[in-house]
Amino acid sequence: MDKIRTVIVDDEPLARRGIRAQLKDEAGIEVIAECGNGLDAVAVIEEQKPDLLFLDVQMPELDGFGVIEAIRMERLPAVIFVTAYDKYALRAFDVHALDYLLKPVDPERFTTALQRARAQIERKDISDLSDRLRSLIDDLQANRKYAERIVIKSSGRIFFLGVEEIDWIEAADNYVRLHVGRTSHLLRETMSSIEKRLDPAHFMRIHRSTIINIKRIKELHTLFHGEYEITLLDGTRLTTGRGYRDRLQELFGNAL
């Protein structure tokens, strides 16, 4: 069997050295990269397509869960999470049957987690892992506050987009397109999932394929059958769906 290509992600250099040291005498393991932050990790994973990922949960800017969210599921390697004590995170890992190492890492626990990862990789049982990781992310999103920033990958770079910068969002096959001024960004996500991430006090779904930033509304025009045409501040014109009138009425009250 080919060597298991491994990436270590942790913002603490000492922690990365510790994991590398424990892997040094492990047969069949090749550490191909180390990353000190989540953004670099996403880029490396997308480019290098490793088999195994040691992923720190608590990192600034983009944490371990954000890394998982940003990676396309078909690109996901086997993952062993590394975390300081976090009662909720540990419960989530247990519920979704995902391996984790608690800092400081216990050598025996390390060996057990690595053995499980080896078996998973040898069985090529990554689709089941993807399902469990997606369930984990859905679980976490349900218990998180609304997103303030979204990770965007564009033209070979990765950056954060503040949600307040978004004018409107439209469905685009298996993606959503975020319209920001004169530019737009494709994000591999469904309309339903991104709607759940956005604060309904600031974003409104007006059609099955359209979400708008409420602060960007300039004016409304009444159409037939209870529909409306919404004009945004930049002149964009969008039409509401029939089933979304109640949302507008909640926002504008008797003005409609």
User: How far is 80 from 100, CA to CA, in rounded Å?
Assistant: 5
* Residue from 76, 62, 97, 80 nearest 23 by CA: 80
Q: Beta-carbon neighbour count of residue 167 at 10 Å?
A: 18
> What is the band of 123 on the pLDDT scale with cuts at 50, 70, 90?
confident
> What is the band of 38 on the pLDDT scale with cuts at 50, 70, 90?
very high
Average pLDDT (132-148) is: 79
* Residue from 17, 59, 51 nearest 34 by CA: 17
Domains of the chain and any CATH numbers: 4-143 (3.40.50.2300), 149-255 (2.40.50.1020)
Q: Beta-carbon neighbour count of residue 19 at 10 Å?
A: 22
User: Has residue 255 got a pLDDT over 60?
Assistant: no
- The structure's pTM equals 0.73
**Helix H or strand E segment including 17:** helix 13-23
Position 1 scores a pLDDT of 60
If one compares 107 and 248, the residue with the highest pLDDT of the two is 107
Average pLDDT (109-121) is: 91
> What is the band of 184 on the pLDDT scale with cuts at 50, 70, 90?
very high
Position 74 scores a pLDDT of 67
For the chain, what is the mean pLDDT? 88
User: How far is 184 from 172, CA to CA, in rounded Å?
Assistant: 12
Average pLDDT (206-224) is: 92
Cis amide linkage into residue 200, ω under 30° from 0:
no
Position 73 scores a pLDDT of 67
Position 126 scores a pLDDT of 65
